[in-house]
Structure 1
Amino acid sequence: MNMIIKKRQLVTATLVIALGAAVFVNWYYTKPEAQKAEAAANTAKSVQDVREADNLGDAQYVIASGNSDGKDLFAQSELNRKKAHDEAAELFQKIIKDESSSETAVKEASEKLAKLSEQIKLEADVETLISAKTGKSCLVIIDDESAQVIVPPGILNDTVTVQIKDIILNKTGFSSKNITIVELKG
């Protein structure tokens, strides 16, 4: 009987020590400082990778951390759109200013530059009106015959959809089948 109690105590003590070791190992590898250091190392590596492969037009994989309601996407999309508009305007300006450009090329570039300016103003006006109606920022992309609107999650319902379409119809004259409204996934 005395031998059975000692074996039980020995098995119990061994299990307690093993459990303690497992808890310590779990804590050691998941402590917040280690996660922050690992995240910082990953971010630094990503930035270094981006700098090394800084070719225009290359796709880049970006890991976003933290909770975001789409403000980062809107900011990045607006930046990309502005960059594309600026590049197009610069190209048209080069054609217009180039003395070797033909008269038709200069005229065509001037018309396209004027059209681009109107498009930029129209996008900004529509974004302002939609933001005023919804109380949230949005992103509007207008092409020759269509308009796309990206709104943050949680605001899109039937009323808001009708308001957005009404604004675009009044400002652009596009048919409603050429208007696309997309709610950002949250």
Structure 2
Amino acid sequence: MSMMIGKRQIVLATLVVALGAAVFVNWYYTKPDAEKANTGVTVSEQATQAAGNLGDALLVNSSTASSKDGTQESKAEQAQAKVEDEYFAQARLNRSTAHDKAAEELKKTIEDSKASSEAVKTATQELGELSKAIKLEADTENLINAKIGSPCVVVIGNKTAQVVVGKGVLKDDVLVQIKEIVLKQTGFSVENVTIMEAK
């Protein structure tokens, strides 16, 4: 009997370590950079200084005007990209938080001395499934990112997969590529896979 408890504890410890490693890797790649926040202040100060004094005369010709239009379009694209990056970072953070809460509840059940052996067994299995889902989400995201060259978020649970890609990315050929990757990685049926663009 003590040998069974020892094996169970080893398996549980392995699952907890794997889950912890997955959470750390997810946090590491989605944490906001403090340097970017500091750089934003410096860039805005430089832009204010570069603009000169209010009311200064500015020589404008057609080539300058067209380059300014291109710059404005570029700034709009950069702003859109920043919004998308923030969306994906927040989505990954929300997913990670949900995973952490679920893992914490399962660990409480496993460590509860009053829990029945059946409840502990079920919680251990669910913790293992959660760990597999976290790894599967990360692997699937990496493959999709490599294939389409755009960030995405994958959420897997209850034998379903949801994929969110950036705005304007979802075209017919990209949709097929994403579906192929998700179906191959997860083994789910086509009707259990949802792919959408971020708003």
What's 1:150 paired with?
164
What's 2:187 paired with?
173
What's 2:32 paired with?
none
Letter in 1 for 2:150: K
What's 1:116 paired with?
130
Give the SS at the match of 1:105.
helix
For 1:90 and 1:146, the matched residues in 2 are separated by: 22
Moved over 6 A (4+): none
So what's the TM-score if we normalise by structure 1?
Answer: 0.62
Highest CA radius of gyration, 1 or 2? 1
More helix per residue: 1 or 2? 2
Residue 139 of structure 2 corresponds to residue 100 of structure 1: no
For 2:191 and 2:104, the matched residues in 1 are separated by: 33
Contact 1:165 1:179 in 2 (8 A): yes
Give the SS at the match of 2:194.
strand
Letter in 1 for 2:131: S
Q: Which has the higher contact order (CA 8 A, sep 6+)?
A: 2
Residue 93 of structure 2 corresponds to residue 79 of structure 1: yes
Contact 1:69 1:153 in 2 (8 A): no
CA offset digits 1:137-164 (Å, max 9, x no partner): 1001112222111000122111110100
Residue 141 of structure 2 corresponds to residue 133 of structure 1: no
Letter in 1 for 2:85: K
For 1:98 and 1:144, the matched residues in 2 are separated by: 25
Unaligned runs of 5+ in 2: 1-78
Unaligned runs of 5+ in 1: 1-65
For 1:152 and 1:79, the matched residues in 2 are separated by: 17
Letter in 1 for 2:149: G
